[in-house]
Amino acid sequence: MASASERGLVRLAARLLPALVYFSALALSLGFECSASGGVTLEESTQVEVARGAVIEIVAENTEINLTRSSGRFVNIDSSLRHPQRLHYLVRPLTPAPTDHLRITLDVLAGNEDRADATLDIEVPGNVVLDIATTNRRVAITGASFVSAEVATSNAAVSSVDAMGDLTISTTGAAVSVTGHTGAIDVNTTNGNVTYAGRIPSDSSSILNTSSGSIAARLDPRSDVTVRAETDAGSATGEGLVDISQEGGALRGKIGSGSGSLRLSTGIGNIDVAAASLP
């Protein structure tokens, strides 16, 4: 039979448990370490006001990231954390509101790499600088506008639809798809196809590169760009370009006066470039 002191501890724990659960959820919404242990999935929403031109860093392990545009000056974050007790999730403005530097981090605690992951749905205002890094999960950008964005993941696809701004994408072992894009573009992947449709700005330098995979680029006819395409094992074709020259797997041509630059390269695969109106 339990002693009186043991029974007292049980009653105290029962009284404290609701408060502990509440403060665990509150700590997550404020960006402190998540230590909730009940339930498989924890969902939270966080809102942070940012200044125009703010830097937004997102560094997250095993996390799918879906990025869209918000209508105001707030970053809205909806997080879905699976097995949250195995994760450390932090939303941290580095300067007073409206912050000019917001850092979002999510770390998987050691030994839980195969047992915990997350999804972050993030709305960002325009005219910001984005630095996004994750692992083993896809990144999807839809309708966002930014000064520049750097996106890095591994073993997962990256897609961008109707985005505006200079965009750099790096992944491994997966495809990259960029459609309806306006701005300079720099894509590097391994063992994956690259699909691009957009407008290359004048006086910019852009790259589409894969170590093994095909590249298909559909360029807005209003682009003003010199195109250089090269494959080590495959064919390179150009449609709607002017001043075309071709030798083996290398092709060169222009749209307009050719003041901008687009280089496409693959080790194994075909390259198809066309100047055609976008959907």
CB distance 180 to 163 below 8 Å:
yes
Residue 27 pLDDT: 42
Element (H, E) at 43: strand 41-60
The CA R_g of the chain, rounded to the nearest whole Å, is 24
* pLDDT value for 268: 96
Q: Give dist(CA 200, CA 222) in Å, integer.
A: 9
Confidence at residue 14, expressed as pLDDT on a 0 to 100 scale: 46
User: Are 60 and 120 in contact, with CB atoms under 8 Å apart?
Assistant: yes
Sign of the dihedral through C-alpha 77, 166, 52, 107: positive
Nearest to 67 by CA among 1, 17, 141: 141
Tokens 């230590």 correspond to what residue? 35
What's the CA gap between 102 and 93, in Å, rounded? 4
Centroid of chain to Cα 85: 25
- Closest-CA residue to 225 (of 257, 183, 182): 257
Structure-derived torsion over alpha carbons of residues 130, 135, 139, 144, reported in degrees to the nearest 10? -10
In this predicted structure, what is the pLDDT of residue 3? 53
Per residue of the chain (279 residues), give pLDDT as tens.
Answer: 445 554 444 454 444 444 333 333 334 334 434 444 445 899 999 999 999 999 999 999 999 999 999 999 999 999 999 999 999 999 999 999 999 999 999 999 988 777 789 999 999 999 999 999 999 999 999 999 999 999 999 999 999 999 999 999 999 999 999 999 999 999 999 999 999 999 988 889 999 999 999 999 999 998 999 999 999 999 999 999 999 999 989 999 999 989 999 999 999 999 999 998 876
Please check whether residue 111 is in contact with residue 87, taking contact to mean a CB–CB distance below 8 angstroms. no
Whole-model pTM? 0.83
